Structure formats: C-alpha cells, structure tokens
Structure 1
C-alpha cells in the first residue's frame, strides 16, 4: 500500500547501533512513510505568518526550485562508471519502475506492490506536489538501473522526528535489477548521489536518510557511503536508522 503520513507522537531514541555484517544487495533506502505528504508542514508555514501573510498560504517556490533543478545536474564519475540522475517522466518510465517496485524483495520494504496504477499514484503524488520530493531514475553508463527520491527533509514531516536544519536533503534508493545487488554498488551510488547533492546544493550542509533498521544491507550501504548513524527513529510504520552525511566530513568518511 502507498506510504502513510507520519505520526506526530513518534519518539526519537539516540542509541548505539550495531554495524550490519553485510553490504549485500541494497533493497531500498527509500521505504519512508513520511515523504509523500506533499503539503508544507505547519511549522514551516508558521514562519510566514509574522510578515502579514496567512499561515495557511504556501510561500512561492523559489525560481531555481526547492531542490535546485536536479534535471540540470551534470553526470558524476564513479568506480562503476558515469552516473547521472534523470527526473522521472510517467509516460516513459512507469513500466520500468513498476516492474522494480513489484520485485518481491523490494516490495517487502516499499509496500507498493500492485498494478501500474499503484506505482503511478506514488509517482504523481511527488510530480504533482510542490517540488519537495523529486523522483528520478539513476542512469549508469547510459542504462537506467535504479530509482531515487531526492527530497527536502527539512520541509518534510520527517523533520518532526529529528533536529532538522535548513536545506537538509534526504535520499531514498531502489536498485532495480537483481544483478546490481550484492556487489557493493549501492554504497558506490549512495556516495555519488550524496556528492551530487552537496556539489549542486551549496545551501545544504547534510544529506540524510532513514532506512528500515531491519534492512541491514541498506544500512550497511549507507555506512560504506560515508553516512554516519545518528539515531533510531520511530516512524509511523517502521523503526528507522537515521543516517547523516555531513558536508564537513565528506572527505573523511
């Protein structure tokens, strides 16, 4: 079923997490049930109430977009080859993404298995939103092979569950083909996309993620990509490992 909205009564526990044993096939870093509530949070809207505007009036989207025009980002070189993000187009990409979403392993965490109508609704909820979440295909050496959601974590309901900072940017990842799993590719691409975010979003100081704690291959891939474990977070439908990649530590981890 499509992800549900976040609960505001969730708690955040700061604990020491054990490091997963494997960097095997990355199923998904993107099983967040929070990201697709595409209405700006009340906390964000309240900031605009003091200047005479109504608190329920959505401020205009900046000319460069809330995510700095992902479609214009240049490819990045990785150990696996040239990689770039291509924003999703429903007519072109729906069959491929729908097939990936219905992979039994992926479906365990994304909970979006079903007809193309289910996949389309998930994509359109972002494409028809205010631009806080952008679905993309990851294209490696000219071949689409992964699905990504790049989102403004500071403007997302996720921000209710951690000390958000302005322009925090979140990542979700789904590796499409079975052949691309289990060989460390997830960590390589997560590092590459985090670098793309930091290179193209100069106001962003942190890239964040919240993979399901049960998904140890995903958590391990984030760690290998230079993310650090920050907290265990109770979200509406899962207990997540909150991961952070800091701009100031990008060359150290």
Structure 2
C-alpha cells in the first residue's frame, strides 16, 4: 500500500473520530485533573463542553433534564480537541494533515482514559470527514464539472415551468449495521462547519459549496471487545481508508487538478 497524495488545497473543514464505549460514571474533578496532566503536552487547555438541556415527555408530564458538561482539552491554536463523554471519546480537528497523525492523538486519548477511569468495552468506531468542496460555479449545473455525475445528474432534471433543479441534498448508505459508510451530500451555501465555533478553522469566503460528509464506521459483531489499542487500530485504519477511497470516486479529475493540487 503506497503513500496517499496529500493535497495542498484540501476541502476538509472538520475531521472527527468517535470511539464509543460502554457507559461509565461521570468523571470526577480529580479524574479530570489527571486526564489534563496526561494530555497537557499536546492539549493544555481545559475547555468543558456546554451543558445541554433536553425535554423529557412522560405520562406524568413534561420535565427538563440538564446534561452536565463533558471534559474537553484543546490545543493552544484551538484547532483540535479531545472530549471524554460517559459513553465515548471524541477527537476532533480542523487542521487535518494525515491519518497517522490523527491516529497518534487517538491512541494518546485512549491510553489516558484507560489509565484514569477505564471503560469496560468498545462499542463503535466512527471516522467522519466533513468536506466543503468550493469551486467556480455560476449555476447548479456547474457542479458537474467538479463533482462526479453519480451525485450531480439530478441537475439535469426539469420540472416543467419550474425549470431545472436548483438544489438537492441526499444520503447514501454503504455496507450494513456492522461496517459501512454514510454519505451525506448536496449543493449548499455558507458553511458546513461554523467558523465561529470552539474549533477554529480557515475561513473561506461564504458562498456555494458542495457538501461531502462521510461517516465511516465499524461496530463489533458479537462480543464487546476491550477498549484497548490492539482492538482499535486496524478498524480505525480501515474506516479512514474506506472513506478516502469513496471521496476519490466522488470528485472529478478537473477538481483534483485545478483545485486540490493548487497551492494555497
């Protein structure tokens, strides 16, 4: 397996790796401090997530429940974070370089969690790539220059006096419940990932973009394996490589040559 090309002008706005595990108790202040100590060289900033309020409807009436903040640790440039939830570890970055670098961060996060407050088992691995494909378009039909016909052929449909299709969104599922990829796509406007969010990102000019959102996943088939790196690494690599292979099928050579390979 040869090295994959690293494009100088990639469309990635956000990459998320989520390792779901068996539910644990909320982390104590002492445990959160221990996690920060283990991650501080790379993730020195403690920035808990915001508390969430959910509405629960029961036969007895309606009540609001507040979910407490989850511990989260961020880089000083605010482009990457590690979050520990009672049921998952999430690693996020808006400055993705290559699979191996993200794998190292994931391994660090797993080791820290298992040292401080071990979870009993692994229940899902998800690797998500949110791409904002931006190119020179004046009409919806122009996306066929940059995005594969399998996604853009709908632009040729005409609805009588209403004219041609102007916008579309869709979801495609590959694989099954154990292993696969969920693709969400469509021609949109603005941003898929908020530039003003907690994770900072390069801010292109707002305007039309084509969303290619790939969620590549693996779940155990029978037994629940332990949350150990030996049970994670190969499945992480497979999920990431599967998403990469699908992305390459969804763009045209024109986009690859004129946009992805263009120096910023």
With the length of structure 1 as denominator, give the TM-score of the two structures.
0.28
Higher strand content, 1 or 2: 2
Higher relative contact order (CA 8 A, sep 6+): 1
With the length of structure 2 as denominator, give the TM-score of the two structures.
0.27
